[in-house]
């Protein structure tokens, strides 16, 4: 038994996809505050996250950016393998990267369906697969997988057919992988964010009527912040959650309770 807090990530390295902004950035910074190193993966610049991470961690942890198009699952797998080979074994992975397309279901295009499913679900599965292979091949290692689901893993929503389908799939995938890998030393769990202040919700927040409707249903009375999700991710990456498998934690201000 280690002397470190059960919530500490000191000495651990975690891959976080989509760490350039929003929830991914919030998760990366929370890991840094808990003492963990982060490899941020995505196609956008992560200079801002790197600067904020250095402050959050007090310089005691390291942030490394890796550029990759996560819509290309083979490129994503290759990135994970290269990170493992060059920076050492990964103690965890957070599948956060996601995109959204909005249109009435009757008008939804194949491109908008495929684009979202490729990033949100297909890449998530194959990154989980690539990570589990490395953990299991290393002999005796354990690992943590945290998938970012959504309120729309439980509900239908409107005008986001591919997003709802992908996030429902993420929840089902999390449970399946937990069943397959739980006895092999790999924890697979998920977080279901509620309405968080990110780029993906900007359109909703800029719509006075829709924003008011959303806030009326949230018992906490506010939109969530990326750090709210980040702290939950730290819990699922740390020793404190070692007996959790296939769980989904709603971080939603009470949305599902109402």
| Residues belonging to the active site | 163
Collapsing DSSP to helix, strand or coil, 225 comes out as: coil
Q: How far is residue 113's CA from residue 36's CA, in Å, rounded to a whole number?
A: 35
Q: DSSP 3-state assignment of 154?
A: coil
Q: What is the Cα–Cα distance from 120 to 116, expressed in whole angstroms?
A: 6
DSSP-derived 3-state class of residue 227: helix
Q: DSSP secondary-structure letter at 196?
A: B
CB 228 within 8 A of CB 254: no
Sign of torsion, CA 73 79 81 83? negative
Pairwise CA distance, residues 139 & 84, whole Å: 15
């Amino acid at each position: 038994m280690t002397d470190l807090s059960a919530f500490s990530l000191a000495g651990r390295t975690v891959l976080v996809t989509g760490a350039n902004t929003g929830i991914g950035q919030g998760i990366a910074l929370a890991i840094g505050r808990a003492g963990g190193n982060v490899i941020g993966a995505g196609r956008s610049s992560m200079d801002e996250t790197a600067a904020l991470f250095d402050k959050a961690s007090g310089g005691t942890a390291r942030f490394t950016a890796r550029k990759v198009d996560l819509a290309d699952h083979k490129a994503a797998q290759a990135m994970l393998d290269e990170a493992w080979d060059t920076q050492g074994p990964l103690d965890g992975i957070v599948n956060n990267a996601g995109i959204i397309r909005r249109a009435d279901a009757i008008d939804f295009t194949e491109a908008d369906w495929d684009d979202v499913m490729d990033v949100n679900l297909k890449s998530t599965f194959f990154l989980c697969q690539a990570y589990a292979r490395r953990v299991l091949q290393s002999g005796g290692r354990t690992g943590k997988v945290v998938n970012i689901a959504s309120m729309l893993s439980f509900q239908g929503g409107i005008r986001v057919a591919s997003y709802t389908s992908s996030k429902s799939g993420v929840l089902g995938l999390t449970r399946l992988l937990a069943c397959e890998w739980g006895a092999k030393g790999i924890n697979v769990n998920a977080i279901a964010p509620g309405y968080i202040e990110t780029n993906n919700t900007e359109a909703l927040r800029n719509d006075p009527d829709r924003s008011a409707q959303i806030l009326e249903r949230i018992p906490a009375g506010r939109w969530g912040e990326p750090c709210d999700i980040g702290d939950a991710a730290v819990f699922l990456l740390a020793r404190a959650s070692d007996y959790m498998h296939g769980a989904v934690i709603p971080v939603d201000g009470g949305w599902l309770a109402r």
